[in-house]
Amino acid sequence: MPVISVPQAFNEEDLYIDLEPMFGHRLFLKCEGFNFAGSIKLKAATEMVESAERSGVLTRDSILVESSSGNLGVALSVIAASKGYRFVCVTDSRCNLATRQMMEALGSQVHIVSHEHPTGGLLGARLEYVRGLCAADDRYVWLSQYTNPDNWKAHYFRTAPAIARIFPQLDVLFVGVGTTGTLMGCARWFRSWNRPVRIVAVDSVGSAIFGDPPGRRMIPGLGMSVRPPLLDEAYVDEAVRVEEADTIRTCRNLAKRGFLFGGSTGTVVSGAMSWLARHETRSLTPVAIAPDLGERYLDTIYQTNWVQALYGDQDLVPEAPPDHGVAGRESSTANGRAR
Ligand X SMILES: Cc1ncc(COP(=O)(O)O)c(C=O)c1O
Residue ranges in contact with ligand X by CB under 6 A = 39, 41, 71-72, 176-183, 221-222, 262, 264, 291-292
Least distance (Å) between residue 182 CB and ligand X: 3
Q: What is the dihedral of CA 93, 99, 105, 107, to 10 degrees?
A: -70
| Closer by beta carbon to ligand X, 21 or else 221 | 221
Q: Which residue's C-beta sits nearest to ligand X?
A: 178
Rounded Cα–Cα distance for residues 182 and 176 (Å): 8
Integer angstrom CA distances of residue 205 from 19, 160, 176: 24, 26, 12
Least distance (Å) between residue 74 CB and ligand X: 9
| Closer by beta carbon to ligand X, 21 or else 264 | 264
Exposure class string for 176-193: b at 16+ Cβ within 10 A, else e = bbbbbbbbbbbbbbbeee
CB 199 within 8 A of CB 286: no
Least distance (Å) between residue 43 CB and ligand X: 9
Least distance (Å) between residue 176 CB and ligand X: 5
Q: Where are the extended beta strands (E) located within the chain?
A: 16-18, 28-31, 63-67, 86-92, 109-113, 140-142, 172-176, 198-204, 238-242, 286-290
| Closer by beta carbon to ligand X, 85 or else 150 | 150
Residues in the chain: 339
Q: What angle in degrees, to the nearest 10, is found between the helix axes of 71-83 and 97-105? A: 10
Least distance (Å) between residue 30 CB and ligand X: 13
| Closer by beta carbon to ligand X, 21 or else 130 | 130
Rounded Cα–Cα distance for residues 252 and 266 (Å): 8
| Closer by beta carbon to ligand X, 21 or else 200 | 200
Integer angstrom CA distances of residue 116 from 93, 100, 261, 339: 10, 19, 29, 49
Least distance (Å) between residue 32 CB and ligand X: 9
CB 15 within 8 A of CB 110: no
Closest by Cα among 24, 14, 30, 23 to 287:
30
Least distance (Å) between residue 172 CB and ligand X: 18
| Closer by beta carbon to ligand X, 178 or else 206 | 178
Least distance (Å) between residue 29 CB and ligand X: 13
| Closer by beta carbon to ligand X, 21 or else 80 | 80
| Region of residue 283 (left: phi > 0; alpha: psi -120 to 50; beta: else) | alpha
The strand pairing partners of 29, in sequence order, are 17, 288
| Closer by beta carbon to ligand X, 21 or else 31 | 31
Closest by Cα among 248, 263, 227, 221 to 91:
221
